[in-house]
């Protein structure tokens, strides 16, 4: 909450440090998956506004790679989509077209896996009824 307030009043330099401390090992364990998503995206947004595109890109990729104990992605599909387009934007700002295309392809692939998994789960549930 403190970092969000700092960011909203234009103090992104301090806000990204607060976000970074929230992601440090002693504190990270207390974040819920939704809070983790908010912190990662908030920090990446601050880094983007500070024109630290490489760091923002790395933060976003880290967020996209975080898995829960049950090997699920954290954050909503909307949060993952936002992280993907933010990462692609950072790559484009760095004039790295390959990175931008790579992160978009990766999201498209993962999204396809999630949809396929949901379809399979639906079929399994239907079969259990018979």
Look at residue 114 and tell me whether its pLDDT is greater than 90: no
Which DSSP category does 73 fall into? B
Task: For 94-113, write each residue's pLDDT tens digit.
Answer: 999 999 999 998 887 666 66
Helix extents (H) in 1-130: 2-8, 12-22, 25-28, 33-49, 53-65, 77-93, 97-129
Look at residue 75 and tell me whether its pLDDT is greater than 80: no
pLDDT at residue 117, rounded to an integer: 58
Indicate the range of 9-13, 52-56, 79-83 predicted with least confidence: 9-13
pLDDT band at 92 (very low <50, low <70, confident <90, very high): very high
């Amino acid at each position: 909450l403190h970092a969000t307030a700092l960011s909203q009043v234009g103090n992104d330099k301090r806000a990204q440090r607060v976000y970074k401390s929230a992601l440090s090992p002693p504190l990270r364990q207390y974040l819920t998956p939704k809070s983790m998503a908010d912190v990662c995206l908030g920090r990446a947004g601050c880094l983007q506004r500070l024109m630290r595109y490489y760091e923002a890109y790395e933060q976003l990729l880290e967020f996209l790679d975080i898995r829960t104990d049950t090997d699920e992605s954290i954050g909503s599909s909307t949060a993952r989509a936002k992280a993907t387009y933010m990462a692609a934007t950072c790559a484009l700002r760095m004039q790295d077209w390959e990175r931008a295309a790579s992160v978009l392809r990766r999201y498209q692939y993962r999204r396809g896996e999630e949809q396929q998994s949901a379809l399979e789960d639906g079929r399994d549930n239907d079969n259990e009824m018979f």
